[in-house]
Each structure stands twice: as C-alpha cells, then as structure tokens.
Chains A and B, each alone.
Chain A
Amino acid sequence: MQERKTTYEIPVGPIHPALKENIRFTFQVEGERIRSVDVKPGFVHRGIEYMGMRRNLIQVLYLSERICGICSISHPIVLTQAVEQAANIEVPPRAQYIRVIVSELERIHSHLLWAGVAAHELGFDTLLHLSWKVREKVMDILEELTGNRVDYALPIFGGVRRDIAAEQYPKLMEMIRYYRGLFEELSDTFLRDPSVEARTRDVGVLTPKEAHELCAVGPVARASGLRKDVRQDWPYLVYGDFDLTALTPEDHGVEVHGDVYDRIIVRLLEVAQSLDLVERCLREMPEGEITSFPKIPALLAYLKKAEGEGIGRHEAPRGEVIHYVRLEAGQEGPAVWKVKAPTYSNLMPWTPMFREQEIADIPIIAASIDPCMCCMDRVHVDRGDTREALDKQALLRLSWEKTRRVCG
C-alpha cells in the first residue's frame, strides 16, 4: 500500500488554556502523536530593554522588577550586580545576605506555584489547591519582609533598601519549620501518586546530551542530570561560602530519566535546599550597614559619572538570568542593557521534548520548563496601518453594545 501523508496541523496558542501566557506552537500531528513542532514567541507586549535605555538607572531598577512577576527579585539582583561591577560599587555583607534570603524565598514560592500549575495541567486540581494553599505562607513572609507579595523593591545599587529586623527572625524560622513539616506530605502527593506518575514518567524526555548542546538552564538542565547551577558554578553574593551543590534526581536516590517527573523531583528538592539556605543565612548574617549609598541623589550622581561594562548572573527559580550593562559617563541611563531570562535558553530544549509525544502531553511538557514568556519576549510591533489599538473605555463601550444586541 502506498503511504499517504497523514499528519495534520494543530495550533496551540497564542491563546490557549494550557498556556498561561502567549506563545504559538504549531504541531504536526499524526493521530495523537506529535511528529514535529515549531515554536514562535513574540506575542507579549514588551520593549523593556528599549524603555530601559531611555531612563535613569534607578528607574531601570524598578523596570527590571517588572520583567517578571515571579522572578521579581532575580532581575533586580542581576542588574545591581552588573551595575556594581561596571561602576565599582561595594555591597555591605549584610545586604548580600538579605539578597540571598529573599531570592531563596522567591525560589520556594516560585516552585510551589509551578507545582500547582503543573498539577492543573494534568487535570489534578486538588493538588493545585493544596500547593497554592501552602504557598501562601511564604508569600506572607515575603510581604512581612518587603511590604509586597510580588515586586519587592528590595535591592538597590550598593545594597538593599530594607533590613530584616530582629523580631522578624522568629517568623522566618517558624515558616521554615512549617515547610519542613509539610515536605513529606508534599513529596508524597507528587511523587507517589500513581496517576501523576502515569502522566509524567518518560514524558517530555530531554537527554543530558541535548540539554548540554541546547544550553538548557535551571531545573530543566538539572533534571536531565547536568549539575549546572549558577549558585554552585560561579560564586556571587555569599553563595560561594555555602559549598552548595546543584541537585539532580540522583540526590533523591533515583536514576535520571530527564522527564517531567524528574523536573518535579528537582524542584521539590530545591525547596528543601532553599529552606536550608535561608536558615543558614539567618544564623550567619552579620550586623551592619545595608547599603553603601544611603542617599539616592548621591547614588544617581555617582552613577552618572560612572563608565564601564558589567555582567550580572543569578540562578533564578527557572534558571540562569544574565544581564549585560554598559554605562557611559554623562549618561543617566545604561547605554546598553541586555536581559536574558531563563525561558530564553529553555526555548530550544522544547523541540526534542515534544518529539513523538502525544497531544495530551502538550500542556505538561510546555509547563515543565516553567515558561515565562513575558520575561523572554522583546517587542510589540505597532504598524499603525490596520485597526487602531483599543483602550479600556473603547473595550467597555463595545461590550455594552454587544450585551444590548444579545439581550435584544
């Protein structure tokens, strides 16, 4: 019999319930099997780098927090590192510890958030509600420490803006005990549930070779067995003092498959690791200044004179973040600001993960890298020739008109 072309095309996105943000996958599908995939990002209105290069550095700092609502401490930490290198600014020890504490708290909340999303993609809503319920604890602590649940406005060039007060230590310790007590239950529900295992074992496999060649970062690379973690590989802040090791599924006592299940293992292990780190920071944190520039105008004046280049790197919950900054004397803002979010690096590894999987696996594989499209996307194109963009008032007016039409 002659072979006929039996594939058909399934578009997923730019708008699709499996995706929390806009991206377009075009799958070539045969029956329920995926033969190939084309990934097209670029649907989120951005232009942050462009905006940043037209603002002064303090404004850029606040802008950098809005690159990602979840990694909202990672980007400012990286930007401050880059600028501190470019302009030769010292950071007091206590400020370094505070940055580490908050970024580890962020890792806990991000991984729990991811766990809930992953459970929802699997259709396991009970687990979604459980994960998000226990996540509230760390959100409360973040609010207690910084005043905000997201966008903490904490780091500033040369330090941090808020100290951790003595009476806040017990609250942090109580949170650590709370999560340690819950850890068994959480890993039990995720790792020993037969239906979760049936849906994630050997699904979306990324081999170590592919992970290396495609420059995968973060939990995705580690779940494939690469011990790749900026905190371990490249000392920065106080991470070099901690003898940290990157966690892979082997640390859980299982063989590395490189599948979605392994990504769950790695993220759960990292929650425990972050708890240890926070506890250690609290124990070792010295007293002292929290910033080397208490006055913002002085800082701005200093930065305006500064000239140089700097790179900042950080292991955000999703993987490596890197910023490159170029300062030129006499200019308030950066001459160049390049942002690389983890999803940018994990875009290519998606392709081998999807190969030969089923349509039913699309949501969980897409979610397994913990994508953040808006961190990664670059621009919004306004052609000005087609329909005008609609503002809030116009949208409201249109919806009123439609209601009237429908209700007669």
Chain B
Amino acid sequence: MTVDKVLDMLRTSAGEALTDPELRSRTVGVARPQEIKEVWAGISGQALVPAVRALADLAPLHLSVISGRDAGEDIELLYHLTVGYGTEGGEVLVTLRLMLPKTALRVPSLCGLIPGAETTEREKREFLGVAFEGITDDRNLFLPDDVTAHPWRADDEEIGGMVRRTVKWEERNAGT
C-alpha cells in the first residue's frame, strides 16, 4: 500500500469534506534508511463513514484508537487508522481529524463497519460526551455505571471537584 493511493482514495470518497490533507514524513532505519510518510487530514462527520469504508475496501484496515481533546468551543476527535497491515513495510498510518462544536456533539459510529471500534467509541462517549449514532453498546465502559460526568471536558465542574478532593486527601495522607 502506498501513501498516494490512500490519499487518492480519501480524496475521491470524501471529496470536499476532506480538508487540509497533508503528508508528514519521518526517516527511520540505520542500515537502510527510508522515509515513512503518513496521512493527516481533516474530515466532516458525514464523510467519515464513506471514507473509512473506502479505506477498508482498499486494504486490511485497523483502527488503533480514537484520541480526543477539549479544544474550547469544539471537541477534537482524531481517528488513528492504519491501512494495509500484513505486508512488510506496507502499512500506512492515517489520522482523520474531526472537529465537533460543543453544541452538536454527534458523529456517526464506525461500529457497523469496524465492530472493534466499540471500545474506543464508548470511551470517547463517557470521557468527552460525544454521542455516536449507531453504536452497538453505549453504556459506560471505564467509568462506573452511574457516573455521568465527562473527565476530559475542561468545563465539567463535577470532575473538577473530584480532583480537588483527591488532591486534598493525598496531601493529608502524605504527612502520616
């Protein structure tokens, strides 16, 4: 699998929804140095599933993880995918960036396409409060069942209180 092929596929499947596609490279190896390129691109919620489906049709697709952050007005989700495992040096790392305004935190789920996406989508739901449409199971995963706070949201008061309490307790305990 080559980076250009992956990028072409993303361009044709997502069209206009693909923003700032970029190839980043790093040099690895000592005896046989080679340049490894990876794809970074922004994408919209609607284009996500078609784009990922196109990648899955291209070569064996693996979803490593979705990472995310609270970027103030928006929530940023990064889908770290790899395309084409199973061949020597043939895997391409693809990172799709999705910006969701905090007023509309909805994104289509990848579970229908990659059932293994459930773990990481459940984690993003409970940690960032993003709703995944079509997720196979949306109970809390890492958090206790009854916790509704979202630990990675900077604007979540409940979590702030929890952290302050823990810090106080640890400080008191440190003395004994």
Complex A–B touching at CB under 8 A: yes
The residues of A with any CB-CB pair to B shorter than 8 Å are: 40-42, 50, 85, 93, 96-97, 212-217, 226-228, 230, 232-238, 240-241, 243-246, 284, 286, 309, 311, 313, 320, 322, 324, 326, 335-336, 338, 340, 344-345, 347-349, 377-379, 381-384, 389, 391-393
Enumerate chain B residues within 8 angstroms of A336, measured Cβ to Cβ.
Answer: 67, 69
New A-B pairs, 13, CB < 8 Å, besides A233-B87, A243-B88, A377-B142: A42-B142, A234-B36, A235-B29, A235-B34, A241-B29, A241-B30, A311-B93, A313-B64, A324-B78, A326-B69, A348-B118, A382-B165, A392-B176
Near A by CB (< 8 A), chain B positions 134-159 give 140-144, 147, 151-152
Given contact pairs A235-B34, A245-B88, A345-B119, A213 touches B143 in the complex (Cβ within 8 A) = no
Which residues on A sit within 8 Å (CB–CB) of B89?
A: 232-235, 240
Q: Looking at chain B's contact residues, is the secondary structure mostly helix, strand, loop, or mixed?
A: mixed
Interface size class of B (residues with CB under 8 A): 35 or more
Q: In the complex the two chains form, is A322's CB within 8 Å of B69's CB?
A: no
For the complex, give the distance between the alpha carbons of A238 and B30 in Å. 6
Q: Are B28 and A41 in contact (CB under 8 A)?
A: no
Contacts of A226 in B (CB 8 A): 60, 85-86
- Chain A residues with CB under 8 A of B147: 381
Shortest beta-carbon distance from A240 to chain B in Å = 4
Given A243-B88, A344-B119, A391-B173, answer yes or no on A322-B64 (Cβ-Cβ < 8 Å): yes
| A322-B80, A391-B176 known; A233 vs B123 contact (CB < 8 Å) | no
User: In whole Å, how far is A360's beta carbon from the nearest beta carbon of chain B?
Assistant: 27
A311 touches B30 (CB 8 A): no
Question: What is the CA–CA distance of A97 and B30 in the complex, to the nearest angstrom?
Answer: 9
- Considering the complex, give the chain B residue whose CB is closest to the CB of A50: B151
- Residues of chain A contacted by B116 (CB below 8 angstroms): 213-216, 345, 348-349
Is B7 interfacial (CB-CB < 8 Å)? no
A40 to B97, CA, bound (A): 29
The A-B contact count (CB < 8 A) is 149
* A344 in contact with B120 (CB, 8 Å): yes
- By a beta-carbon cutoff of 8 Å, the part of chain B in contact with chain A is 24, 26, 28-32, 34, 36, 38, 40, 60, 62-65, 67-69, 78, 80, 82, 84-91, 93, 95, 114-120, 123, 127, 140-144, 147, 151-152, 161-163, 165-166, 169, 173, 176
Contacts of A238 in B (CB 8 A): 28-31
- Assess A237 versus B28: contact at CB under 8 Å? Given A41-B142, A335-B69, A384-B165: yes
Cβ of A27 to closest chain B Cβ, rounded Å: 17
Contact (Cβ within 8 A) A384 B69: no
Contacts of A244 in B (CB 8 A): 88
Chain B: which residue is nearest A378 at the CB level? B142
Q: Which residues of A contact B120 (CB under 8 A)?
A: 340, 344
Contacts of A284 in B (CB 8 A): 31
**How far in angstroms is the closest Cβ of chain B from A353?**
14
Contact of A234 with B91 in the complex, beta carbons under 8 Å = yes
Could you pull out 20 A-B pairs where Cβ atoms are within 8 angstroms?
Answer: A41-B142, A42-B140, A96-B30, A213-B116, A214-B116, A215-B116, A226-B60, A234-B89, A240-B29, A241-B29, A241-B30, A241-B31, A246-B86, A309-B40, A313-B64, A338-B78, A340-B65, A378-B142, A379-B143, A391-B173
